[in-house]
Structure 1
């Protein structure tokens, strides 16, 4: 499965960042390990989502998974690839607390967020712009901070959706569900950003290569298992599979008109709220 090769026959190497979460390792396994070919070699860097966001702010990587919130801050240097991301229904961040409280009671309470530039942080600010007392923690530390009373509530992402009840926590609000009811659109969580300076041909090749990698993963789900498990040893197979099932779907193959509309709406709402700057650059490869 080929996409492109350089004129001199040598394979360029690109830096590629994504998270160690099962959905990302599932998506990128075939691309990284040469099971599909788009004419590039990759030097991957696996980091948590907020680390990747901050690396993208300084334009460190050629290609990177980023939060859609962060995308609004980097469109001068990057654009969005249509494949490889996380966007869907029923997969949004959850607000959890020790006690059953009403979402309206969050005002004035200290809330833990999994990073300043995460989509989770953006959604909470869009839900209630008056909320302002935030503490930023790595996503895997949030449930413990809520459970021990360090914070009154926390916004959880990734596999925490499947494990928060084990910490004695209760769901206060499903931010993805709120977004879907508010807009009728699926929720854009994270997408793949690539440097505009790579040029249109290379960007299209990357976009196709990512789509092929997703297709390969769906067709050969066992092939990615060793790579997934190498980066998620603390998770059971059941949690890994649930994670992949929740975050990898047809939108990961390609955004399509529905996905593109959802992304534009989220960024427009963020810009109108003054959370991200307004942009002039094309969002996607023309």
Structure 2
């Protein structure tokens, strides 16, 4: 009898793309029935605090709060190399113009907000909201600016918005490292062999998607937002690539650097141990 395990991921094109190998039935794990739960990343961040899911995507910034429940997998990370979440506005073009203004942030526990706190040193009013609401909130004047992630990073100009700052670029200028924005975790309630098996099946799913890109994109676009096929390809390649197959030593160093900077700025009060679960290759 198969044992059911649930993988949690966001409905974004890149996350759905990674899951395609499993969803299509081409990748499986003997003795297990894998199902998936799709929620926005902030909901997954909060759910991870309860340790409910076998495997889940989260914002890497939230890992200090859940490291007792989960171990980071070497595969599945969404990594930006000199790009990342962007700060945009309709009416303002320079950072100093946002002093005292209201800025929308896509969740308190997101890496976007951690990077914002580290690098954006202006007095402003922060409003947390669902990431899908941010563009319209800027356009209708509810907020003066906002931090965009996911597909908004390549669609903002279509909505008449101006990029003021790229938090991924600021990160790279200051550290020289890539920025892991999201990671996938495996639950520590499983023994080491099972954690490795779950990590391996997800690695194989990511690899299958990369090797069967068009089919994986067609699947992923069911969940994406307002992207053409080629826009979806561009976005997915930004965050599903060799870094996704292997976080590697550089990715681990980047996570440690992020938490060191957050600790120095009193954003977090303790730094977690970073122990990585590797798949069987």
Calculate the TM-score normalised by the size of structure 2. Answer: 0.92
Cα distance in 2 between the residues matched to 1:233 and 1:119: 21
Residue 257 (1) aligns with residue 249 (2): yes
Structure 1 residue 233: Cα displacement: 6.4
Alignment partner of 2:104 out of 97, 112, 117: 112
> How many Å apart are 1:71 and its aligned residue?
1.3
Unaligned runs of 5+ in 2: none
8 Å contact kept, 1:84–1:214: yes
Helix, strand or coil: the match of 2:14? helix
Which whole-Å CA distance do the structure 1 matches of 2:75 and 2:247 have between them? 6
Structure 2 counterpart of 1:22: 13
Partners of 1:240 and 1:94 in 2: CA distance:
18
8 Å contact 2:64–2:272 — kept in the other structure? no
Separation (CA, whole Å) in 2 of partners of 1:19 and 1:119: 15
1:128 corresponds, among 113, 120, 145, to 120
Q: Does 1:205 pair with 2:192?
A: no
Aligned pair partner of 2:268 in 267, 270, 276: 276
Q: Aligned-residue CA RMSD in angstroms?
A: 1.9
- Cα deviation for residue 114 of structure 1 reads 0.6
Deviation, 1:49, is: 1.0
The yes-or-no answer on 1:13 pairing with 2:4 is: yes
After superposition, the C-alpha distances for 1:61-90 in whole angstroms (9 at most, x for unaligned) are: 221100011112111111111101201314
- The structural deviation recorded for 1:181 is 0.4
1:187 to 175, 179, 186: 179
Query: What is aligned with 1:229?
Result: 221
**Aligned to 1:197, what secondary structure does the other structure show?**
coil
Q: Give the 5 Å matches for 1:155-166.
A: 155-166=147-158
Alpha-carbon distance in 2 for matches of 1:59, 1:277: 21
With the length of structure 1 as denominator, give the TM-score of the two structures: 0.90
Q: Which residue of 2 aligns with 1:32?
A: 23
User: Are the equivalent residues in 1 in contact too, given 2:103–2:126 (CA < 8 A)?
Assistant: yes
Q: Residue 168 of structure 2: SS of its match in structure 1?
A: helix
Structure 2 Cα separation of the partners of residues 233 and 140 of structure 1? 9
Bigger mean CA deviation after superposition, 242-251 or 131-140: 131-140
CA distance in 2, matches of 1:99, 1:210: 43
Counterpart among 59, 62, 65 of residue 57 in structure 2: 65
Alignment of 1:232-251 (within 5 A): 232=224, 234-251=226-243
Residues of 2 paired with 1:113 and 1:264: CA distance?
23
**Separation in structure 1 between the aligned mates of residue 95 and residue 81 of structure 2, nearest angstrom:** 21
For this pair of structures, how many residues does the alignment match? 277
* CA 220–68 in structure 1, closer or farther in 2 if over 3 Å, else same: same
Aligned with residue 167 of structure 1, among 159, 165, 169: 159
Q: Which moved more, 1:194-203 or 1:30-39?
A: 30-39
Q: 1:270 to 1:11 in 2, by over 3 A?
A: farther
Find runs of 4+ consecutive structure 1 residues off by over 6 angstroms. Answer: none
